[in-house]
Amino acid sequence: MKFQKKYSAGSKEQLGFLAAVQTFFSDIITYRSLIWEMSKMELKAQYKNSFIGVAWLFFMPLINVAIWLLLNNGGIFNPGNTEVPFAVYVITGSTCWIFFFALQDSLSKSIVHGSHQFLLSEFPRMVIMCQKVATHLVTMILPVVLCFIVLFLFGIPLTAKALLFPLTLVPLLLLGFALGLLLSLLEVVAIDLAKALNRLLAALLFLTPVAFAPDRPAGILGVLVKYNPLTCLISVPRQMLLPGAFTLSNVYLVEAGVVLLFFIFSLRTFYAAETKIMERLSV
């Protein structure tokens, strides 16, 4: 794809919050074909030299589940009352966790690992970030399919509320996107701090009910799990796939609203810092 005019980020430094959202969607619409082509190129590059190819996306969640099962069967780990087979509980929780964490992790390294592309691109740098999101969504198809297969094998039927599963993943998508944008900027100006924050986010896995019931931890750990925003953001999508009634609690709705505002803030920050980040990379 050729561009008649070299893109300049300078004009976006003074964007307001609403203007940043409008610019974001305008970039997606204008460069949607480029985003898709870049995603296909990255997917081919990722698995070109892999012996098992995209099948690796099946094995990774299974390995994760196997580790938790071994810990549970060995008496090292007690997940509490999960109300469904432990393997089902872990695979549904892990799918939601990977959906969030893998996205922010990929985005956070986009600028540093692709500095040449960021410096020389003749299109908005946000397009590159959107391409990473598109690639992530494609790679998540197989883990989600695996999740449905496990549900089927354990005889857990999907109900009508399963149709809400993609919708309830949106807050996790926006949160991962927002954190990825901000951490990608931080990777350029303060790499040590960015790495520390990324590891802190990874450690949240042990404070999020991915492999244990939310009411299982006690004491200080129980308090941390209770007030961890990811507890609700991951528990609700899981509820869409498991038996039983569900309610979109006020806590979930409030957290979803806060995530939306945080996402808008991250867009505004990324556009405002884009020029300075490019200057820092060119030094």
| Distance from C-alpha of 114 to C-alpha of 169, rounded to nearest angstrom | 28
**Residue 269 Cα to chain centre, angstroms:** 19
Q: Which residues of the chain have pLDDT under 70?
A: 1-13, 47-56, 114-121, 245, 282-283
Q: Mean pLDDT in the chain? A: 84
What are the tens digits of pLDDT across the range 92-135? 999 999 999 999 999 998 887 766 666 666 778 888 899 999 99
Q: Evaluate whether 241 touches 158 at the Cβ level (below 8 Å).
A: yes
237-240-246 Cα angle (round to 5): 105
| Distance from C-alpha of 76 to C-alpha of 72, rounded to nearest angstrom | 6
Residues contacting residue 9 through CB under 8 Å, at least 6 positions apart: 124, 125, 271, 274, 275, 278
| Distance from C-alpha of 1 to C-alpha of 33, rounded to nearest angstrom | 9
Could you state, in order of their start, the residue ranges of all structural domains in the chain? 12-39+54-282
| Distance from C-alpha of 37 to C-alpha of 186, rounded to nearest angstrom | 28
What is the distance in angstroms between the CA of the first residue and the CA of the last residue of the chain? 28
